[in-house]
């Protein structure tokens, strides 16, 4: 277990109304330290290592840091420059993977662990085009053999899988508009969830909205929508069972059965922004706002579906400074370490920080 009494690492903060106490990582290796985008895991399965994003304003390049809870060290690795929200942790080992341009890299959490090139999208597929990104979020196939790539190239987007053993990239599909947020199924190595995204034409500057957000594609097959009727939902992720996906819409978090698009709606007392579920779907963390802009005011909340109780973890005033405008500092709460903790980005100290809270404490407050 993490020693939250270690004042070298943490500062506790208690919400004045809910009474929830969470723990802020206050050992700084970068001016801006934030949690991962909620789709990807950031913690090793044994709870020893927690990875986080680092930024050094005014540079817009992000890098990675890690907490070693066994030694009490916090390390920054400046060589880990990454694109999009691509980093993910291989939970059994604590190894981090990230992408930059067309290449995927990895390294261990130890101070002297080597940086290794995993694989790259081939040059002949890219040609002379500019790479916008290799992957929105890197995700691992259920058999542990491949990473999924949603490659952006000027006016074309290519989906495919990239083997960890350095083998050849396998092209699944080509798109002529923006689709992204592609994520391998946690149970089926041949199935991927992805999203229709707002698309800006690079020549005319015209923006095209989202008509139908949730999609699936199978290896060797064609894309198909999940919902029975087109809908602009947002912020999707896989259920651990591989038979459902989750998303948010309005005041609801939706659990959608991929086989037939049947929707289970879980209502919150406030507007949803991002959400994440534990492995059995009975606990949900989320954040909300009253009007989105980069650095907008936000609230982090927790729901126990067995009792229908919701409690607030943190509330943040709007942040319109440089960090708020440029570093995607949404809370993005997520369950980590086989659901033992919730990690999120917080600004209650007036800085951009990483926070942790034990899940069992939240459950205890909502029984």
**Containing structural domain, residue 127:** 31-287
Q: Is residue 13 part of a domain?
A: no
Residue 263 located in a structural domain: yes
**Dihedral-angle region of residue 235 (phi above 0 means left; psi in -120 to 50 means alpha; beta otherwise):** left
What is this structure's pTM?
0.95
Instruction: Give the pLDDT confidence score for residue 42 in this predicted structure.
Output: 97
Predicted confidence (pLDDT) at residue 290 exceeds the cutoff of 90: no
Convert the pLDDT of each residue in 291-314 to its tens digit. Answer: 888 889 999 999 999 999 999 999
301 lies in a domain? no
Residue 184: C-alpha distances to residues 111, 138, 219 (Å): 30, 9, 11
| Contact present, 117 and 105 (Cβ < 8 Å) | yes
Contact 315, 290 (CB under 8 A): no
Query: What are the φ/ψ torsions at residue 135 (nearest 5 degrees)?
Result: -155, 135
Q: Which two tokens stand for residue 34?
A: 């934030």
**Average of pLDDT values for 32-36?**
97
Mean pLDDT score of the chain: 95
**Is 342 among the domain residues?**
no
pLDDT tops 90 at residue 205: no
- For residue 337, being part of any structural domain is answered with no
pLDDT band at residue 272, thresholds of 50, 70 and 90? confident
Number of domains in the chain: 1
Q: Region 141-146: what's the mean pLDDT? A: 98
Is 356 among the domain residues? no
In a domain, 11, yes or no: no
Q: State the CATH number of the domain containing residue 159.
A: 2.130.10.10
Contacts from 90-98 at CB under 8 Å and sequence distance 24+?
A: 90/140, 91/41, 91/43, 91/44, 91/45, 91/337, 92/44, 92/45, 93/44, 94/44, 94/46, 94/48, 94/49, 94/66, 96/51, 96/64, 96/66, 97/138, 97/147, 98/64, 98/138
Quote the tokens at residue 306. 């067995």
The pLDDT of residue 57: 96
Is residue 272 a part of any domain in this protein? yes
Question: What's the whole-number mean pLDDT along residues 337-363?
Answer: 97
């Amino acid at each position: 277990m993490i020693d939250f009494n270690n004042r070298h690492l943490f500062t506790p903060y208690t919400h004045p109304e809910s009474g929830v106490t969470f723990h802020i990582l206050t050992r700084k290796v970068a001016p801006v330290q934030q949690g991962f985008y909620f789709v990807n895991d950031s913690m090793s399965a044994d709870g020893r290592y927690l990875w986080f994003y680092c930024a050094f304003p005014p540079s817009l390049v992000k890098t990675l840091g890690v907490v070693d809870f066994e030694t009490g060290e916090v390390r920054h690795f400046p060589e880990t420059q990454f694109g999009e929200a691509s980093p993910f942790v291989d939970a059994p080992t604590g190894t981090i993977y990230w992408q930059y341009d067309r290449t995927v890299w990895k390294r261990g959490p130890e101070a002297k662990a080597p940086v290794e090139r995993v694989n790259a999208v081939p040059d002949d597929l890219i040609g002379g085009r500019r790479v916008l990104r290799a992957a929105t979020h890197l995700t691992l196939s259920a058999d542990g053999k491949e990473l999924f790539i949603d490659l952006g190239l000027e006016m074309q987007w290519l989906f495919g899988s990239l083997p960890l053993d350095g083998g050849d990239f396998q092209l699944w599909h080509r798109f002529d508009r923006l689709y992204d947020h592609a994520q391998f199924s946690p149970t089926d190595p041949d199935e991927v969830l992805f999203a229709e995204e707002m698309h800006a034409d690079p020549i005319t500057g015209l923006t095209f909205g989202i008509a139908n957000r949730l999609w699936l594609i199978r290896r060797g097959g064609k894309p198909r929508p999940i919902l029975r009727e087109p809908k602009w939902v947002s912020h999707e992720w896989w259920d651990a069972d591989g038979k459902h996906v989750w998303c948010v819409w309005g005041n609801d978090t939706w659990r959608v059965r991929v086989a037939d698009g049947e929707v289970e709606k879980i209502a919150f007392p406030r507007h949803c922004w991002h959400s994440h579920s534990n492995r059995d779907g009975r606990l949900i963390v989320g954040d909300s706002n009253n009007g989105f802009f980069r650095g907008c005011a936000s609230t982090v909340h927790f729901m126990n579906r067995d009792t229908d109780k919701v409690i607030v973890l943190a509330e943040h005033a709007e942040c319109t400074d440089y960090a708020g405008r440029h570093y995607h500092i949404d809370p993005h709460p997520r369950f980590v370490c086989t659901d033992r903790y919730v990690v999120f980005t917080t600004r209650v100290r007036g800085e951009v920080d990483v926070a942790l809270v034990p899940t069992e404490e939240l459950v205890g407050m909502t029984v």
